[in-house]
A = this chain, B = another copy of it.
Amino acid sequence: MRISVQEAAFDFAAEMAGFGQGRADVGAIVSFTGMVRDDSGQMTALELEHYPGMTERAIAKIVDEAVTRWVLADCLVIHRTGRLGIGEPIMMVATAARHRVAAFEAAEFLMDYLKSRAPFWKKEHALSGETAWVAAKEADEDALRRW
């Protein structure tokens, strides 16, 4: 179980290389990577503000909850902060479990909670110089209800 909140880019391949490997009880590994999208064609960067201290605490609570609900052989959460360019990875989650359903569900649970319960805030920077805070989506709050 590893959690990292960092400004630096992460190396997806290196992170996954040993993840859940070399174990006879791991049948399923799921990864999710979130990347900076530009829907308008007018964006130049995405800025991620967070609440140092609470961020790590909140993610640890979410991971603890996942580990209580599903039997996971391993679990990884990396979330970046600071200024990111279009197409850059923002964060990743990985889960390793005996069966596919647990690995998928735990990864989706982690993502749903990281979206709405970890103290990150996204600000879009436009080519024009304008900035706008990304509004939370009702669908993201609704997504928590299924768990």
Q: For chain A residues 106-120, which have a beta carbon within 8 Å of chain B?
A: 107-108, 111
A55 within 8 Å of B by Cβ?
Answer: no
Give CA–CA (A31, B32) in the complex, Å.
Answer: 7
Q: Bits for A8-32, please: 1 = Cβ < 8 Å to B, else 0.
A: 0000110011001111111111111
Kindly provide the distance from the CB of A9 to the nearest chain B CB, expressed in whole angstroms: 13
Category for how many chain A residues contact B: 35 or more
A136 within 8 Å of B by Cβ?
Answer: no
User: Contact at A29–B38, with CB atoms within 8 Å?
Assistant: no
Residues of A within 8 A of B (CB): 12-13, 16-17, 20-39, 41, 86-87, 98, 100-101, 103-104, 107-108, 111, 143
